Amino acid sequence: MDTRQANLQRHRLRMTLLSVVNSLLQSIVIGLYAASGTISWGIAAFFAAASLGTTGLFAIGVAAGWLIRLGDAPLLQAQLAVNFIVQIVFLLVAPPLWMIFLGSTLITCTYAMVAFTPRQFTGLWLGYGVVTALALYAGHERFETPAPTPLNIAILWLFFFVGVRRLALTGAQFSRLREQLSEKNKQLTILLERNKELASHDELTGAFNRRQLMQLLVDERDRAGRTHESFSVAIFDLDHFKAINDRFGHAGGDAVLKRFCALTCEAMRSTDRFARYGGEEFVLLMPMTPSIETACQAAERIRRVVAGEDWRATLGQACTPVTVSAGVASWRPGESLEELLARADAALYEAKDQGRDRCVAAPPLQAVASAA
């Protein structure tokens, strides 16, 4: 039996034993009425045997695992049905206590609020009305009330005192259900936020992922088209990253990627957006950059920060310096995003060819067009 099934079994047994305790308390109340002479001891004993016997059988069935396949709702429905039948029978068998047994049926129905659906509860309500009406009609000529002696009044108080306890237990169960629901809602909110983040962010580095980058680029192009303000992109590539992976393993490579992203986020402008483009390639989106020189200055600031980092804290004492190369391009009206990224990528390869650890600006679109 797994943990979830074991917890469910313990909960069922606890609730079933609670019904045994409730039957015992009501049997004591009925016994006190027998002691006061309101009903015979035979009827009191008969009620105790019927009430404790039925609830006891359910407890034995749950404890032995015989009812393990029965769901919570069917088990509760069966217990409520049996208890309801017992109360109605003794409403007719012991006419002087008809109000006591009628009140017990009402308290019993409150347990249905915990597990019944609205449709089931409506059915219970209608069934309760029909059955109690028939029972009251069948026994109304014999109904009477106990004499208002101090003892009978005390017993009546005890019955309602015990009844309030049963109602309080139902309320406590509602409170626990609300707490569980609240906790599950909190967990669901956390999971939804996490899923939302994973849909737009790279799981390893926390930077935007490629899909989110393309959406950001589309939004920025549309904004630039409306405001006539240019924007730029810089494609970064960690130099000799394969050698880092080969020497320090993928764990070391992942640590370098995460540290590089952290350094970039500290060095870039608050308006910039940073995304993982693929592998060890990253893209910095720089809105409202009036010139390619401004964009190159932003990319160069990041390159210097990476080159000046003490990577021994990340890779250990035996590490070699980690550097990054970048290709920068500014968008011009009429240029597609694919063309913009291709120009930045070509500038990146130029930076690699020139010896790495540098930033290279892509030529303007007009110059490319005239050269063609």
Q: What is the model's pTM?
A: 0.54
CA 93 to chain centre: 52
Residue 192 confidence (pLDDT): 80
Map tokens 């021994």 to a residue.
312
* Secondary-structure breakdown of the chain: helix, strand, coil percentages, each rounded to the nearest 5: 70, 10, 20
Residue-level length of the chain: 372
Closest CA to 17 of 54, 50, 55: 55
Q: Which residues 6+ apart lie within 8 Å of 281 measured at CB? A: 235, 236, 237
Buried b (16+ CB within 10 A) or exposed e, 56-92: bebbebbeeeebeeeeeeebbbebbebbbebbbebbe
Local structure of 233: helix, strand or coil: strand
Residue 243 has a CB neighbour count (10 Å cut-off) of 11
pLDDT value of position 313: 87
pLDDT in tens, 289-314: 988 999 999 999 999 999 999 998 88
pLDDT at 74: 81
Across the chain, the runs of DSSP E, i.e. the strands, are 232-238, 273-278, 281-286, 324-330, 359-361
Reported as a single tens digit per residue, the pLDDT across 146-185 is 888 899 899 888 888 888 887 787 777 777 778 888 888 8
Residue 368 — very low, low, confident or very high, per pLDDT cuts 50/70/90?
very low
Closest Cα to residue 287, out of 271, 265, 276, 275? 271
Residue 159 has a pLDDT of 86
The pairing of strands 324-330 and 273-278 is unpaired
Catalytic site includes residue 281: no
Question: Per-residue pLDDT tens for 102-126?
Answer: 988 888 887 777 777 888 888 888 9
Integer Cα distance of 71 and 62 in angstroms: 11
Amino acid at 116: F
Tell me which of 229, 280, 281, 339 is the catalytic residue.
280
Domains of the chain: 3-191 (no CATH), 210-371 (3.30.70.270)
